[in-house]
Amino acid sequence: MPADAPASYEAECASCHMAYPPALLGEQSWKNVMSGLSKHFGTDASVDAKTQTEITSWLVKNAATRQKYSETAPENRITKTSWFIRKHDEVRADVWKRASIKSPANCGACHIDAAKGIFSENNIKIPAK
């Protein structure tokens, strides 16, 4: 996670889900996410204009730049990107449904250092339940 994350990112975004590292999506996907906060994956996550500008600017500045990560994500979902699907192709559907995981979007359930923006295959522990 970039060290210059605005406090508003943690306060607004991490209050409902993990504060995803901006490099997990490309610039256009982050712009799409931030322009649709009133319908943010089934929730109204609207913020004031100043906060929206601050968070959007930071996400765009730190967005993925490598081609395989910077594609515009289907439905603006990290879990729908081709790189995510490829990296998680060995995870069975029933694993995602475990009570301790709930969904592919819950990175921290398996990636021990996800909150630090570290997703090394050496630091994975898939919960049994």
Helix (H, G, I), strand (E, B) or coil at 64: strand
How many structural domains comprise the chain? 2
- Tokens 């339940």 correspond to 129
Same domain for 97 and 71? no
Instruction: State pLDDT tens for residues 59-80.
Output: 999 998 876 666 778 888 999 9
pLDDT at position 85:
94
> Quick one: how far is CA 41 from the chain centroid?
12
Sign, Cα dihedral of 91, 16, 111, 76: positive
Quote the domain boundaries for residue 128: 88-129
Same domain for 72 and 37? yes
Decide if 81 is inside a domain: no
pLDDT at position 70:
66
Decide if 83 is inside a domain: no
Same domain for 5 and 67? yes
Same domain for 70 and 35? yes
Decide if 99 is inside a domain: yes
Specify the pTM: 0.85
Measured at the alpha carbon of residue 3, what is the angle toward residues 74 and 67, in degrees to the nearest 5?
A: 35
Instruction: State pLDDT tens for residues 6-64.
Output: 999 999 998 889 999 999 999 999 999 999 999 999 999 999 999 999 999 999 999 98
Element (H, E) at 33: helix 27-35
Q: Which residues contact 49 (CB under 8 A, 6 or more apart)?
A: none
